[in-house]
Structure 1
Amino acid sequence: MLGTKTRLATATALALTTLTALAGAAQAAPVDQVRIELLELTCHQQSEGDHDEAYIKITDANGNQIKVWPGSAKYQTMGTNYVRSLTDANGNAALVLGRDQARTLTLWDDDTTSGDDKLGATLVTGSEADAEIQYRSLEGSGGVYTIAYRVIDI
């Protein structure tokens, strides 16, 4: 009879330990993710004579550069006073990050004769969620651009 009571006590203790562990896991903070929603790119001054061949990359969580715009072409032609929608990039998984993380958006000019030219970069943080639309200036290699985006909860 003593063996049965011991086994019952051990089983009860094990069940309580398991329930406590499960309760702790249930109380763990959920991963708070946000998404960068790209809106618009405006060229105030192209970096080259007639136009730039622009594309945007984002640095992912592993430090890799991932092209996000344009989604269906190698680049988008940009000239002074051109305004382009960036919405075709918004399905890219690289635009998702934690509220406590940051990503760098970099604008590039495709160059077939030499290395691509960096036209500017900006740091976007997950803590910008629920803020107004952000407008950031991007400047490099003689080009001057403005990128519009917002960070939204998902």
Structure 2
Amino acid sequence: MHLAPGMVDLLLHAAPMHDVGKLGISDNILLKPGPLSAEERQVMNTHASIGAQILAGSTSPVIQMGERVALAHHEKWDGTGYPHRLTREEIPIEARICSVVDFFDALAMDRPYRKAVPKDEVVRMILDAADAHFDPSVVEIFVDVRGDIEAIHAEYFH
């Protein structure tokens, strides 16, 4: 996989915007200590579209990429994701990258509703989901740089 010049820097600044749409989700859902009901899950899933709406209309390349990432970071390689059930290369590459990293981060950290999953297990889950939920080429690179990712994760989220 080769990214266009400057794309890595844009992604560095755009990726943190992936969940900006959660600003539009009630804390009762965001911070719920147990599993979400089907209705609550449906509300939570709107955060992707809400995030894209928040970021829409900007002329800034970083914000434009943030909009794409916010909208598509829950799309899945096999088309079972949301909000638009995009498949494979229909999903912007920046969102495909963020989806793997977001999955790792979401499971490797404690959440209000569960304890962190051991990192080795999270990586195994990512590998198992390659070619279904995740772009296999992104997963391959993720595994190659796993040590770097875990070092960054440890530095900021010990």
Q: Same fold (TM over 0.5)?
A: no
TM-score range normalised by the length of the shorter chain? under 0.3
Higher relative contact order (CA 8 A, sep 6+): 1
More strand by share: 1
More helix by share: 2
What TM-score, normalized by structure 2, do the two folds share? Answer: 0.25
What TM-score, normalized by structure 1, do the two folds share? Answer: 0.25
